[in-house]
Amino acid sequence: MASVNKVIIVGNLGRDPEMRTFPSGDQVANVTIATTDRWRDKNSGENREATEWHRVVFNGKLAEIVGQYLRKGSQVYVEGSLRTRKWTDQASGQERYATEIRADTMQMLGSRQGGGQQQGGYGGDDGYGESSYQAPSRPASAPMQQRPAPAPMQQRSAPAPMAPPPQRAASGFDDMDDDIPF
């Protein structure tokens, strides 16, 4: 029987990305993303919420984009898989574990004017404040040491000003909200 290890979250960064570069030139970005579940308590009628924090690891080109564009509070959509790391604590000698999401796909959500948060702006920017990037797929059997070092990053010029969105023909749906999730 086949198994599936797939995670999809939409949430906000709890702090700026923590960036690391390995001697090979590969970059890694670590972030914590908060997701909040909201509901109304059936007994008291009060609104309740619970926040869950997720550790997310971005590698390679995806890490470069995260480091360049995401900041504390940025809203982001992430797809990936769960990974558990094990290590021995140097101070106590105890074995420690950490479960993280290894991101394969990331999409920046929100607008560029979103309260001082710089969002959007990478390659596939559609002009509506959303951008996405999908990391190249990795063969499951290839160890990380065999991946070639990425090419040096070229200097990019400032992004061109955004053009206004195209005008829609009157269809009777002009009063509909553009934030439809599909």
Task: Find out whether 76 and 8 touch, Cβ atoms under 8 Å.
Answer: no
Two tokens, residue 122: 């990478």
For the chain, first and last CA: distance in Å? 32
Helices (H), the chain: 60-69
Q: What is the pTM of this model?
A: 0.61
At residue 88, what is the residue type?
T
Q: What are the pLDDT digits (tens) for 122-142?
A: 333 333 344 555 665 554 444
Two tokens, residue 82: 């769960």
DSSP for 105-125, written as a single string: EEEE-S-TTSTT-----STT-
Q: What is the pLDDT of residue 181?
A: 57
Task: Find out whether 23 and 62 touch, Cβ atoms under 8 Å.
Answer: no
Confidence of residue 116 (pLDDT cuts 50, 70, 90): very low
- Report the pLDDT averaged over residues 95-110: 93
Q: What is the pLDDT of residue 63?
A: 94
